[in-house]
Amino acid sequence: MVEIKGLTKTYAGGRTRAVDGLDLEVKDGEIFGFIGPNGAGKTTTIKMIAGVLRPDTGSVRIAGVDMSAEPVRAKRNLGYVPDTHDAFDKLTGIEYLGFIADVYGVDGPERKEGMEKYLRLFDLQSAARDSIKSYSHGMRQKIMLAGALLHNPPLWILDEPMTGLDPASALLLKEAMREHCRSGHSVFFSTHVLDVAERLCHRIGIILGGKLAAVGTLEELRANAAADATLEQVFFSVADKQTEGARL
């Protein structure tokens, strides 16, 4: 579903590479969790996968389509929810979903059904006609999710999607992610909530200082730690090894 090769990005004025030679694959039917400390390069990677930030070098293919060669076609295959949502403040929830439906050409019965489905799923029906400006962080997160999922893209790309969600909404989202992958579709998401990643993901990538430090199933990642280690223990063990390596 996603193939990333040699992805590198340095921001203007940035002294080090925010993302440094990243190779990664997300398979069909997979929930892939991307974890790492603040500033590790998760958001930068996600923006390049979603096609909103141009890599310095390297390539991204979504469902076999090269992002830099055919951005419009590649983007049709994905729904992206960024970690901040300041745009679209002037629209109401329903206007926002209508706008997204227009952009992606979602017409006919699918349009109304899709909007109703996601407004219901995220418990936003009663707020649908209020301006997004009046929404709480969690409600904004949910309306952005609804918008990203409306055109039924095979790949969901979610940057810290659980942040600001109440437990009930987080549960709905996790169930929606599982349901999405049952039909061979995929989810790529970043999180710093390690126990969510541990329970939800088929595979996990650990990014440290812009580089992929480890990747695999939890089982495979445990090769870096004890056989019954939690993801948290694996994470710190990988991070410690990296620091030791840097000292040598």
Contact positions vs ligand ADP (CB under 6 A)? 11, 14, 18, 36, 38-44
The nearest distance, CB 48 to ligand ADP, in angstroms, is: 10
Question: Which residue carries 């969510």 as its tokens?
Answer: 196
The nearest distance, CB 12 to ligand ADP, in angstroms, is: 7
**Residue 38 partner contact from ligand ADP, Mg ion, none using kind-dependent CB cut-offs of 5 to 8 Å:** ligand ADP
The nearest distance, CB 46 to Mg ion, in angstroms, is: 8
**Residue 11 partner contact from Mg ion, ligand ADP, none using kind-dependent CB cut-offs of 5 to 8 Å:** ligand ADP
Stretch of residues binding Mg ion (CB under 5 A), selected from 39-47, 59-67, 117-125, 224-232: 39-47
Stretch of residues binding Mg ion (CB under 5 A), selected from 14-22, 42-50, 84-92, 206-214: 42-50
**Residue 155 partner contact from Mg ion, ligand ADP, none using kind-dependent CB cut-offs of 5 to 8 Å:** none
The nearest distance, CB 95 to Mg ion, in angstroms, is: 28
**Residue 14 partner contact from ligand ADP, Mg ion, none using kind-dependent CB cut-offs of 5 to 8 Å:** ligand ADP
Compute the chain's Rg from CA coordinates: 18
How far apart CA 140 and CA 85 sit, in angstroms, is: 7
74-100 per-residue burial string, b: 16 or more CB within 10 A, e: under 16: bbbbbbbbbbebeebeebbbbebbbeb
**Residue 6 partner contact from Mg ion, ligand ADP, none using kind-dependent CB cut-offs of 5 to 8 Å:** none
Query: Cα 210–67–11 angle (5° rounding)?
Result: 35
Cβ-proximal residues to 26 (8 Å cutoff; 6+ apart), any chain: 1, 2, 32, 155, 186, 188, 203
188 close to 47: Cβ distance less than 8 angstroms: no
The nearest distance, CB 211 to ligand ADP, in angstroms, is: 12
43 lies in the site for Mg ion, by CB under 5 A: yes
188 close to 156: Cβ distance less than 8 angstroms: yes
Q: What is the DSSP letter of 128?
A: T
Chain residues binding Mg ion by CB under 5 A are 42-43
